[in-house]
Amino acid sequence: MKKIFSAFILSLVMTTTAYAEHEKLNYNSQKPVTCTTPDKIKNLLGNQLGEMPYMQGDGVSAATDGKTFIKTNLIIAVNLETKTFSVVE
């Protein structure tokens, strides 16, 4: 009887569907921007913070309208002595 009851409950759970209503929240998070070249950023990080580039690559960031994207450069710099790092986009 216990197995039949368990099978019945399991069949109810398996056949039940749930619908969730999702709100579309389009928002744009802005950050302070200073436009310059990756080479100038590497010099700034190296001279002021003693951080050396660990990784550099291309990235994608949302534009101000929140619907389109723009290409960006991404640099991760590390200082092994002070154990600090910077992520610059």
Q: What is the pLDDT of residue 50?
A: 92
DSSP label of 41: H
Q: What is the pLDDT of residue 13?
A: 60
Residues 6+ apart with CB under 8 A from 57: 73, 74
Q: What is the pLDDT of residue 62?
A: 78
Dump pLDDT digits (tens) for 5-53: 676 666 656 665 665 565 665 555 666 677 788 788 888 888 888 999 8
Q: What is the pLDDT of residue 40?
A: 86
pTM over 0.75: no
Where is 11: in which H helix or E strand? helix 2-15
